[in-house]
Amino acid sequence: MTRAFSRGLDVLLVEDNPADIVLTEEAFALGASPSTLRSASDGEEALTVLRGPAGELPDLILMDVNMPRLGGLETLAQLKADPDLRHIPVVMLTTSSDPRDIDQAYALGANAFVTKPVNLPDFLQVVEQLLSFWSSLATLPSRRMR
């Protein structure tokens, strides 16, 4: 059952795989939530967006681990070291199930580590469950401006 969300959830997806971006967009479109999804193709682009001109920061970041230029774990370390960005919850949404990646992500301050399912229905369900949790069960910090 999908809950009605009290406010729209603004999500930044940090993902280099175009197919995974499309699947995540589809999961957002199928969900009952009034969520907004923006994307960045790697950690460098994500940090540029987050540190860019004034505007609202996202409520949640979904981030892959393995990306070119600046990977997810390195990006996570920079996010959590930045006083203006460290309050944003980060969920590592990745194909990796390597225990070293999992341990490092949590050591760096990830709020969750979710391994992407390989089939479409399961992937869509995981994204919908993430949206449901973060928009209706979790209490998020107030939206901040940059």
Q: Say if 2 falls within a structural domain.
A: no
pTM comes to: 0.90
Total residue length of the chain: 146
Total number of domains constituting the chain: 1
Q: Say if 5 falls within a structural domain.
A: no
Q: Say if 45 falls within a structural domain.
A: yes
Question: Could you tell me the CATH number of the domain that includes residue 56?
Answer: 3.40.50.2300
Sheet of 60-63, strands arranged across: 36-40, 10-14, 60-63, 90-94, 112-115
Structure confidence by residue, pLDDT tens digits, 93-138: 999 999 999 999 999 999 999 999 988 899 989 998 998 898 888 8
How deeply is 5 buried, as exposed, middle or buried, from its count of CB atoms within 10 A (0-12, 13-18, 19+)? middle
Q: Say if 78 falls within a structural domain.
A: yes
The reported pLDDT for the residue numbered 28 is 83
Q: Say if 115 falls within a structural domain.
A: yes
Q: Say if 42 falls within a structural domain.
A: yes
Range of the domain at 33: 10-135
Q: Say if 142 falls within a structural domain.
A: no
Structure confidence by residue, pLDDT tens digits, 48-73: 999 988 678 999 999 999 999 999 99
Q: Say if 55 falls within a structural domain.
A: yes
